[in-house]
Structure 1
Amino acid sequence: MKINLPKKVKRYIGAILAILIPLLSINATAQNKPSVCVTPPPGYLLGGDFGTATETCIGANEATKPINATNATVTSIGQFSSVSYYFGMTDDVDITAPGFSPVVASLNGGIFKGTGTLPAGNHWILQIGERGGQKYLDCNSIRVLSEAEPVADIYTCDGTSVTIEIKDVPENVHDRYIIDWGIGVEETIENFTLPYVQTRTYGGTLAQVSIKGQYQVTSGFDKCTTDPKVETPSQGVAPVLSSLKTTEGGKGVRLGFRNYTLGTEYEVQYAEDNGGSYNWVKLGTAKDGEFEAGGLDENKKYCFRIVVEGYCGAIVPSNIVCGFGLSSTQSSSSDVSLYWDFPTAPGGVPQQLSLNRFTQGCDSCLDPLSLNSKLDTGFSDNNLECGKVYSYVVTARYAVQINGRTEYIIIESEDYEVDPMNGNIKIIPNGVINAGYTSTDDSMIKLVVFSEQDASNYTFFHKAPDEKDFIRIGSGPNTFDDISVVPNSGSYCYKYQVEDACGIESDLSPEFCTVFLSANGNTLDWTDYSFPDNVLTSGPAEYIVEMWDSDIGAFLPAYRTTDLSQGVGEMIYQATTPTLKFRIRAEQDLDLPGFTDFTFPSYSNTVTIEIPANVYIPSAFTPNGDGMNDNFEIRSKFLDSGTITIYDRWGSVIFEGDVDGSGWNGTIRSGEMAPSGSYGYRINGVSLAGEEFSKSGSVSLLK
């Protein structure tokens, strides 16, 4: 239905809408009024108007803005006895919680006044007034408008046009923008959607360009105009990463770079050093040629670069620089061996390479250590003194060509601390445990440590198959007999710890495990005879399958293989005894200090395979007196004893006898010959290995 209104009414409605629509836009936050000011919690009522600004400006360098809230006599309620305010009220704030702490307003001249601070943005202020023991709630909204310059990029891609891109970021909440193109042309941007991009082509030289933001408030656009962002358009230059220092014991990095624009933010990226293949991840944001961050994994090497987004959308990266991987081993409290890997980038030979040692607590104790060449990757320092703490730093200087210019890059390792007395660097055991069952006793595992390390005492630890942790089992010289083993329960693993002449205990060594042998039917399976990565091996381990010979009372070799399993079905088939006993002799050739191409043997536990009784049961017989196949006779191997029972077709027993007897001649209990047909049988027996078994089936009597 169409309603016709007088022209005067239409003009009034239009005027009212012209006022209300901007106000509705300005106070859009009203629809998000905190729930306590819509439905108050128990003990509270709505009421008590208060005054505060609807908009206020906050300077570009201000983090927060002081905000005043005031309350005078309330006509409908009367004068409050106390008033407090909460600035920045949201539904996440529980006003009934014990920790809720609003600002208590002061009373002066009959007016309550409270002051709080708010950052830039749209906020709510909660008033809590009390009169006669009753508390009243009310909320007002406020816009805190930032005067900081807009977040925008001003750039040129071709040198003949300038593009302004206003970013879609939380800081850009302006209602319009004023662009000064620097050639006497000013442009106002309204009714836009972020991100907003505007390009202008110049007929001559590019000019300095500026942009500022404005807000629509109750009085128009005349309040809180931002500082202008002013830039001379350029195509940009890639930064140069010029220095890298590893910090925080390998967990941090400090970078320096050149060719930057003052105040511009650059993204710092890092990737694990995999030898030239990089998966770049953002580490942080840098400004003004410096960057420092932590949170890295001290056990990994990293590479870094600095990138800036090109003015035309492309990523402009710096050169790549990688850090040193510095490590050490310490065989005693008087010496340390340092090792490092050259950075993957920049590649090649450094222009300079140095290693410095600092004695902590001594300002004049800086000792440059002599390296043989710029290609050295390690150094042994044999002049440590007990009680002193040392720091080592490796520094490499590279000269590289970047964008046609020679740039010098300095890379420093972490300050690598060596303090054996305080345990900051533990002594690393460098020997090998020969762990295995003895050749004559599989209830004890013998341990022997082969090492040139100067140690006054060894402590041994083992982990049983059903245990998760290593436990101490004893100490003494470099040999130990572990009698706490349970044979055939699984592989036992061992570690050891050394103590030097200064009483310094090492870390636990890597683990060394025994070979565990098991049987699965006609197949022997065993665990591998492996060594830690720091032990040099010559080829794969070899395994000799040995079988016990009861005639000579010793194990004899049967197979040699590099596999971890071996079928023994043929040996079982040809066995002359009901049990076969096996073990594995594992052999591995090792290269150790003082032991070159040395064969390390290790015996596994023993496994006994019990061979079941082998019973041959014919499927038919012909009791016709011709001397051939006249009896239903059972033949067996490794059978200790057994009985056989014959049943007729109705399940009646017609014959019982021993398996090792002459068998059934076809007669029934009455002595008569049974008729031709099929008869059931059941055999119950015990093998020579003591295993009970039962077999049943049918046999055909033929005439």
Structure 2
Amino acid sequence: MNFRQLIILILGVVFLAPLYVTGQSFCGNTGGFSLTPSTGCAPLSVTVKNLVPKSENVTYAFDFDRSRTTVPTQSETTQDSSHTYALPGNYTILQFGSANGTGFSQCTDIVVKETRAPNAELIVCPSGKVRLMLVNDSISKAYDAIVINWGDGSNQSIDPKSNTPFVDHTYSAGTKPAVTIRGRYRNADCQQKIVAKTLTGSGPQSLATIVIKSVSLQENGEAKVLYEGIEGIPSELLIENGDGNFVSTGKSGQTGGTQSVTVPGLDPKQKYRFKLSSKNICDNLIESPIVASMNVMEGTLSLDEIISVSWAHLANTENLIQYQLKRDGSVVFTSSDALSYLDTDVKCGNTYKYEIVAIIENDVRSYSAPISIEPKTAPPGLVTQASVTVQAENVINTQVQLSGEGLTSSYDLIIERALAGSSDYQKVSPTDNQSLQFVDNAVSTNENSYCYRFQYENACNLRSPGFSQPICSILLSSRTPEIVWTSDSPFTEPVGNYDLHQLDDQGNIEQTIPKQLQIAHGVDLASQSSSSFQIEAKSADGALVSSSNVLNFRSQPIILVPDAFTPNGDTHNERFEVKAYFILEFQMSVFDRWGEVVYHSQNLADTWDGKVASGNAAGGYYIYQIEAVDTFGRKFSKKGSFLLIR
């Protein structure tokens, strides 16, 4: 660390740091210095002279911020007594040092005046008309006046603080002299240093940035149009209402930046096209791209608790990027080409506000007037399609199919049950039942027949006019050698037909035997030693279906185990294969002479090829152990031996 750095550090700790801690300014009043000059024109060189007796290590910061709360860095300070300000502005000089062991500081302000030439653009027309566009920046505002020398013997002075954006001048035909501008102070300060700028001019400015940014139709019939203007360029808003001709809206302006225009007296249900007509200084008319308004309406499709929305617009000259459909201010659907939407996330009794937004190339947007729609619904009709199916000894499954009007996204399907032959129906479905399928496990299907009826209540609390006609389960029982079923119709109306299903062990239908209106079926026990049956009834129109409990016929299990096999590659008797009949569950283990398991399977279809992990199993006797469950659910075992011949 050099001596100067040490001094700054010491002074910062001893004097400046306490001021920082207390939040005070570093500018004290214990120092003193003279400043020559105290004001002037850029570039300005100044000299300071220390006036503090017996002072040491006097340091200056020539561009100090009075509001800062941190110690100036070494690069911001100097012990030189002179400094040159290249740019105009208001500056503060901070002096700090020590005298008699005590730190001191002092601040003095200095004003450096602007001398640079104002910024401007000169636009020249073939007719001799020119426009000087003055840039409204800090340079121009620093002066009391801007003096324009048109170069044809005429001068003009303008006040930059009056926010005059441009000045027009006309030359005689063929004359295109250079134009000079310079700033001026009221008291003629800096006259020798003020710089002049010569403008040679360019052709008419581009008006491509004068465009409509958004069109928004309102419910009250107003259209709000936002567009980008250019200072000094007159722009008029035109409208076309479908006949192909654009007319003036009476709205115009010549202000730069984003402008807002309101066009009253429109029909929010109609579509309109808008464009801007602008005239530059050379009287050239230029039209902006067209932006069409949007129109959203209720769709023609009428569904229960579903709102249909559609939209349309007139052709734009820009490319469409996306439609956004808003519901109550939030986007619920987007598409680049769809012109309709079915909103299923609505509830009856509520009103929803929809608005369509077209997002067009170059971030242009068109908003429709919002519309309010309430979802429709109708009273639901009677439940006419249903089924009752016995699934197990203590389980009945009911299934309803809904059709017609009045169906909503949420509902309560009310289900009541009674014993067959009884009129004492009790509700068995849960509150606000939202499922068309109901599982009733509080029944005994091998002992009783049960009747069910259904009623639908939609989200608007509208119910079907009554309960459906009852559907009863069918009780199927054995009366050897016949199986018989409930003689009473499971429906209020007569049965259309009965079908007897013969099932496999997994409950799948192997064969369907039409029984017409019969209520019994004879079983050939010799040929059907293992069968399961279920009866199904249908109403005459097929809309109502009832299925009975499952009745099972099973014989004693049979397991056939070979006493030898020869896995020698001659394609005969190559695998150890067990065959079994009337078995539900099966597992087998094969042991060698040392009691090690060499083969195990839980699938009756699997066979052993005489191989073990190390290769071919040795020839000789092996022990098998079989554990099985028959079709009645009874467990039994079988053990024996067989010979593997190599």
Q: Same fold (TM over 0.5)?
A: no
Provide the TM-score with structure 2 as the length reference: 0.32
Question: Which of structures 1 and 2 has the bigger CA Rg?
Answer: 2
Provide the TM-score with structure 1 as the length reference: 0.30
